[in-house]
Amino acid sequence: MRDMPWIYAAIILLLPKACHVSGTNQTISANSDTSSSPKLYVVRNEAFNVGSDVNLTCSNKTWNEMMYVIWTIDMKYNPKECKIAFDTEGRSDDSCKDGKSLRNTSSAQSYLHIPNFSDYDVGVYKCESVYRGANENYKIHVAITVPPSISAWLERKDNRMVAVCKAESGIPAANISWSHMGNSSTVKTSNDSRGFYTVESLLELPEGMDTVNLSCVIRHPYWKGEKILVPELQKGYVLWLCVLIVVVIIVFLAGVLFFAQKKIIMLRQCQQSDDTSSPSKSPPIEDVEEVEPYASYIQRVNSIYNSSDLYT
Ligand SMILES: *[C@@H]1O[C@H](CO)[C@@H](O)[C@H](O)[C@H]1NC(C)=O
Ligand SMILES: *[C@@H]1O[C@H](CO)[C@@H](O)[C@H](O)[C@H]1NC(C)=O
Ligand SMILES: *[C@@H]1O[C@H](CO)[C@@H](O)[C@H](O)[C@H]1NC(C)=O
Ligand SMILES: *[C@@H]1O[C@H](CO)[C@@H](O)[C@H](O)[C@H]1NC(C)=O
Ligand SMILES: *[C@@H]1O[C@H](CO)[C@@H](O)[C@H](O)[C@H]1NC(C)=O
């Protein structure tokens, strides 16, 4: 009985290893390990546009010569390496299971296809292709290109006009320049944990400068050309002004409605009190006097009593 925990411990210790061994029991991986003593990599850097379909080629050998190809992918935001492999005997392996696949060109050249490229796919892609007699190893640093969202405006700062041009959340950082060789432009660049850059360029304008033709030029690898923005008097300010005006109008209307409703209620109450007081007084007297003299007499007596009540 005392031995039982040891047995459990042994099983627990051995189990993950056993699983791991069976998981990597691929003849392709085994081959790669034997031939991997001094691995020399050809290193390449590549960047692709977000959302594009990417084709990564490592060797220009075709399947006529090749025996197998293994991609070992170490994605930046994925803690585990994964593999995609294929050999000429038709064996394949895909531990990534995220849509990446091996494909052939029409000339039987192998490439890795990455659909809808996103920052999830950023990382180091190692490719090993073995053909008769030799092998080729590539290490490709794959980066992403994300266009920034851009804006420009004019704002007042300590009685000075400042033109601001901003390129937000782009990879890599955008380049901003001004059409006017204004004297002092300040550039602020910041980046967040996921590698997105925000660049803000401030141009102080000389007093009384004509801003008609002032524009900022933003360059980013995502765009073929450059983007030109003309800063207008602060958009945000105008927007807030509009919001404020709308709010004031709504409050005003609400106030008017409120008072109108109050007035109506008061008027109704007045009318109601008129309605309730009048029939008991004058009109019945006339009407009743003609029809029922007795009732009118009683009412008159009552009213006399009432009035005498008032005098007491
Ligand atoms: C290991 O590989 C051999 C040879 O390819 C195969 O026969 C066997 O079924 C594999 N074992 C596992 C657990 O995948
Ligand atoms: C690529 O070509 C090889 C060799 O002709 C073939 O075995 C494999 O099935 C092809 N792969 C795809 C995805 O078409
Ligand atoms: C590509 O991925 C983004 C999010 O990562 C998604 O919003 C978009 O719909 C995808 N596009 C296609 C064509 O799958
Ligand atoms: C900007 O230029 C004006 C003259 O064009 C100069 O008087 C001023 O000192 C300059 N400002 C800065 C901050 O360089
Ligand atoms: C602005 O540009 C137009 C055409 O390029 C030019 O005719 C005009 O003189 C410029 N205005 C100023 C104030 O520089």
CATH number of the domain that residue 36 is part of: 2.60.40.10
Q: Is residue 287 part of a domain?
A: no
Centre of ligand 2 to C-alpha 72, Å, is: 19
pLDDT (0 to 100) of residue 166: 95
Instruction: Judge if 247 and 218 occupy the same domain.
Output: no
Residues near 122 by beta carbon (within 8 Å), at least 6 away in sequence: 75, 76, 77, 142, 143, 144
Tens-digit pLDDT profile for residues 210-226 = 777 889 999 999 999 99
How many domains does the structure of the chain reveal? Answer: 3
Q: Which ligand is nearest to the CA of 214?
A: 5
| Ligand 5 lining (C-beta closer than 6 Å) | 210, 212-213
Buried-exposed string 57-82: b where 16+ CB fall within 10 A, e elsewhere = ebbebeeeebbbbbbbbebeeeeeeb
Average pLDDT on 198-204 reads 93
Q: Which has more confidence, 32 or 140?
A: 140
pLDDT band at 155 (very low <50, low <70, confident <90, very high): confident
Q: Which has more confidence, 206 or 116?
A: 116
Cβ atoms of 165 and 217 closer than 8 Å: no
pLDDT (0 to 100) of residue 10: 44
Instruction: Judge if 60 and 98 occupy the same domain.
Output: yes
pLDDT (0 to 100) of residue 238: 65
Q: Is residue 8 part of a domain?
A: no
pLDDT (0 to 100) of residue 59: 86
Of 20-29, 115-124, 190-199, the poorest mean pLDDT is in: 20-29
Tens-digit pLDDT profile for residues 33-85 = 444 456 789 999 999 999 999 999 988 888 988 999 999 999 998 888 999 99
Q: Is residue 207 part of a domain?
A: yes
Q: DSSP for the chain?
A: -TTHHHHHHHHHHHHHHHHHHHHT--HHHHHHHHT-TT---EEEEEEEETT--EEE-----BTTTEEEEEEEEEETT-SS-EEEEEETTS-EEES--SS-EEEE-TTSBEEEEESS--GGG-EEEEEEEEETTEEEEEEEEEEEEBPPEEEEEEEEETTEEEEEEEEEEEBS--EEEESS--S-EEEEEEE-TT--EEEEEEEEPPTT---TT--EEEE-TTSSSEEEE--EE-HHHHHHHHHHHHHHHHHHHHHHHHHHHHHHHHHHHHHHHHHHHHHHSHHHHHHHHHH-HHHHHHHHHHHHHHHHHHH-
Q: Tell me the whole-structure pTM to 2 decimals.
A: 0.61
Instruction: Judge if 32 and 140 occupy the same domain.
Output: yes
pLDDT band at 17 (very low <50, low <70, confident <90, very high): very low
Centre of ligand 1 to C-alpha 287, Å, is: 114
- Quote the percentage of the chain above a pLDDT of 70: 71
Instruction: Judge if 141 and 157 occupy the same domain.
Output: no
Owning domain of residue 170: 149-233
Mutate to test the pocket of ligand 4, among 183, 185, 186, 205 (most ligand atoms within 8 A of CB): 183
Instruction: Judge if 110 and 187 occupy the same domain.
Output: no
Query: What is d(CA 133, CA 255) in angstroms, rounded to the nearest whole number?
Result: 89
Centre of ligand 2 to C-alpha 42, Å, is: 25
| Ligand 3 lining (C-beta closer than 6 Å) | 51, 116, 118
Query: What is d(CA 259, CA 250) in angstroms, rounded to the nearest whole number?
Result: 14
Instruction: Judge if 226 and 255 occupy the same domain.
Output: no
Average pLDDT on 10-33 reads 37
Q: Which residue has the tokens 């102080």?
A: 204
Tens-digit pLDDT profile for residues 85-138 = 999 898 999 999 999 999 999 999 999 999 999 989 999 999 999 988 888 999
Instruction: Judge if 137 and 155 occupy the same domain.
Output: no
Q: Which has more confidence, 175 or 10?
A: 175
Q: Which atom of ligand 1 is nearest to the CA of 22?
A: 13
Nearest residue (by CA) to ligand 1, atom 7, is 25
Q: What is the mean pLDDT of the chain?
A: 79
Which of 219, 181, 180, 177 has its CA nearest to residue 201?
A: 177
Tens-digit pLDDT profile for residues 237-258 = 667 778 888 999 999 999 889 8
Query: What is d(CA 31, CA 130) in angstroms, rounded to the nearest whole number?
Result: 10
22 lines ligand 1 (CB under 6 A): yes
End position of a domain, from candidates 96, 125, 145:
145
Q: Which has more confidence, 263 or 106?
A: 106
Which of 23, 26, 29 has its CA nearest to residue 130?
A: 29
Residues near 231 by beta carbon (within 8 Å), at least 6 away in sequence: 152, 153, 154, 163, 164, 165, 211, 214, 215, 216
pLDDT at 16 over 50: no
Cβ atoms of 299 and 286 closer than 8 Å: no
141 lines ligand 2 (CB under 6 A): no
Instruction: Tally Cβ neighbours within 10 Å of residue 243.
Output: 10
Centre of ligand 5 to C-alpha 213, Å, is: 6
Q: Which ligand is nearest to the CA of 146?
A: 3
